[in-house]
Amino acid sequence: MPDHMRHITLKSRPDGAPTPANFEMQTSDVPPPGEGEVLVRVHYMSLDPYMRGRMDDAKSYAAPVPLGGTMEGGGVGEVLTSNADGFTTGDMVFGMFGWATHAVAAANTLRKLDPTRGPTTAALGVLGMPGFTGWHGLNAYGRPKSGETLVVAAATGPVGSMVGQLAKSAGMRVVGIAGGADKCALATDTFGFDACLDHRAHADARSLRSALKDACPDGIDIYFENVGGKVLEAVMPLMNPHGRIPICGMISWYNAGGLGAGAEAAMSAPALWRPILVKFLSVNGFIISNHWDQFPAFLREVGPKVQSGDIKVVEDIAEGLEAAPEAFIGLLEGRNRGKQIVKVI
């Protein structure tokens, strides 16, 4: 068993966008696993937008990371020592190990992985929380119908790409919104979207709305909301009667702290709220951690599609635990291409 481990802690809370100064690399003794626990060497860890919210000391659906605490997050790794039935040395597992090279975790919080069924990194993205978020939100709240039109922003991320690909398989017209011409090409050429708009090419919601109107000549039936900001403002007037809006995130407002001043102003605007009333829209917010009972059904349905290549996967892998802060900052700025992962060892 190794004597020491490295982990990245929250040194200070960000004021606006995070900077490298908000994080600190530390070295600690590796704790021994207790009864019912295992010691894991982390191979890969996930970076996700929700982590930005954990950096703020604000009331939310989950407690913030304490100052000096290890940044939280999911990872996949190898069991080094097991004091739990059902797990042996060498097993590959997924768990919430945090930004760390090693972790001790209760066995009942882990999911054993089968490396013969594909890359273990899939448990961090397409067959993990992000992919599950897209699948559940689309099916439970989007209720896709053949011939309708769906719009999703952050189209090439693990949530957006899952939503778009599932919607296409359901016979929908799928329009993505992404940051940059290269990402838009990825959305159409790799993920099979019908069209994709570069939001960076539009200075405001009005300009983006005009382009969306051309891309969605029959209006918008489902808007899968994960960014907020000018995309939300552009979409709302184009929603069709009885349209559906699943909400899983608002990344454009995260750096403002909580929902941010921009979110408060936008959500109070009659131009956004009136369509909900007069067009009979269904708007459903959801936190995927409340729906883990549906995860096995997700794996049964989507797992074979990933293995067959029907669901395409793109991963952006940063090298080394020390690369995590900069990769996370880049994620919030939209610099990643596909699912953002850190190769820890």
At residue 344, φ and ψ (nearest 5 deg) are: -75, -40
Integer CA distances (angstroms), 70 to 8, 28, 36, 38, 98, in order: 6, 11, 22, 18, 6
* Closest CA relative to residue 247, chosen from 260, 259, 257: 259
Both 59 and 136 in one domain: the answer is no
Domain membership flag for residue 294 = no
Both 196 and 89 in one domain: the answer is no
Rounded Cα–Cα distance for residues 103 and 98 (Å): 8
Rounded-to-10 torsion of CA 262, 340, 193, 237:
-10
Both 272 and 151 in one domain: the answer is yes
Domain membership flag for residue 308 = no
Domain membership flag for residue 88 = yes
Both 81 and 171 in one domain: the answer is no
Domain membership flag for residue 305 = no
Count CA within 13 A, CB hemisphere, residue 56: 19
Write down the pLDDT at residue 145: 98
Name the token pair of 136. 């559940």
Both 105 and 71 in one domain: the answer is yes
Count of domains observed in the chain:
2
Both 205 and 103 in one domain: the answer is no
Q: Which residues pair with 177 in a beta bridge?
A: 153, 197
Domain boundary among 242, 272, 288: 288
Domain membership flag for residue 326 = yes
Domain membership flag for residue 138 = yes
Write down the pLDDT at residue 259: 38
Both 189 and 120 in one domain: the answer is no
What is the rounded radius of gyration, in angstroms, for the C-alpha atoms of the chain? 20
| Strand 4-10 versus strand 282-285 pairing type | unpaired
Both 114 and 149 in one domain: the answer is no
- Tally Cβ neighbours within 10 Å of residue 148: 22
Name the token pair of 179. 């940051």
Both 137 and 30 in one domain: the answer is no
Rounded-to-10 torsion of CA 183, 185, 189, 309:
-10
At residue 36, φ and ψ (nearest 5 deg) are: 80, 10
Both 135 and 279 in one domain: the answer is yes
Q: Residue 95 CA to chain centroid, in angstroms? A: 16
How do the pLDDT tens digits run along the chain, 345 residues long?
A: 678 999 999 999 999 899 999 999 999 999 999 999 999 999 999 999 999 989 998 777 788 999 999 999 999 999 999 999 999 999 999 999 999 999 999 999 999 999 888 899 999 999 999 999 999 999 999 999 999 999 999 999 999 999 999 999 999 999 999 999 999 999 999 999 999 999 999 988 899 999 999 999 999 999 999 988 889 989 999 999 999 999 998 765 555 544 344 444 554 566 678 899 999 999 999 999 999 999 999 999 999 999 999 999 999 999 999 999 999 999 999 899 999 999 998
Q: What is the DSSP letter of 225?
A: B
Write down the pLDDT at residue 305: 96
CB 137 within 8 A of CB 156: no
Both 106 and 135 in one domain: the answer is no
Domain membership flag for residue 191 = yes
Both 77 and 133 in one domain: the answer is no
Domain membership flag for residue 301 = no
Rounded Cα–Cα distance for residues 208 and 229 (Å): 12
At residue 77, φ and ψ (nearest 5 deg) are: -165, -175
Degrees to nearest 5, angle at CA 336 with 154 and 133? 45
CB 152 within 8 A of CB 181: no
Give the range of the structural domain holding residue 243, as residue numbers without chain letter: 129-288
Rounded Cα–Cα distance for residues 302 and 306 (Å): 6
Q: Which CATH number characterizes residue 82's domain?
A: 3.90.180.10
Q: Which CATH number characterizes residue 237's domain?
A: 3.40.50.720
